[in-house]
Amino acid sequence: MTHTGLQTAMAHCGLIAILRGITPAEAVPVAQALYQAGFRLIEVPLNSPEPLVSIRAMRDALPADCLVGAGTVLDAAEVARIKDAGGELIVMPHSDLAVVRAAKAAGLASCPGVATPTEAFAALAAGADALKMFPAEQLGPAVLKAWRAVMRPPIALMPVGGITPDNLATYAQAGASGFGLGSALYQPGLSATEVGRNARAFMAAWQRAYPAQETQA
């Protein structure tokens, strides 16, 4: 990783909250509940209602040590709009090198989705700060362990898809640097209190899996 803000956030806790479907009205209370639980990375997928409004609201409401950004970024042209909204993180389901380069040119952290070593190394060469292993259910801990043999730290490998408090440790043992958390953390309609409860369960799992990393909420 070369993006200082992402490095700092992941040193605190490598869990990315994926808030697919969140509305601007929910954005601030949910984000504050996540921050209070210890999260420092929040992603609003662009296929959510008014995602840039939510990103701006979160960015204005949260301390600077929490990175807020966009997910499901499919086009390099979207990067400038995300930055204008206060976004600092570009997360993708795929590995479009044009989007990676646009994010880096804008000074934003880039986390493309990769499913093969060829995609992974190409993304790193283009400037990716972290690699989203997606979908994690398909790749699994065995693939992660094999990748880790040739993609040594500080390359950040982050499984996304199907991660729960119960299976997080298995991926951690295989070499995961962090995780993207979707429906097991947040689903549309959940209250901030419910999201906070889910977040604390993930934080407890994180601390058990990475006991040397002293995360503080």
Which residues does the annotation mark as catalytic?
43, 132
Phi, psi of 171 (to 5 degrees): -70, -35
Q: With contact defined as beta carbons under 8 Å apart, do 12 and 171 qualify?
A: no
Distance CA 6, CA 81 (A): 20
Is the sign of the CA dihedral 19, 24, 29, 32 positive or negative?
Answer: positive
DSSP letters for 16-64: EEE-TT--HHHHHHHHHHHHHHT--EEEEETTSSSHHHHHHHHHHHS-T
Name the residue among 117, 52, 39, 42 with its Cα closest to residue 83: 52
Distance CA 8, CA 88 (A): 13
Here the tokens at position 123 are 């993304």
Q: With contact defined as beta carbons under 8 Å apart, do 36 and 9 qualify?
A: no
Is the sign of the CA dihedral 156, 52, 23, 134 positive or negative?
Answer: negative
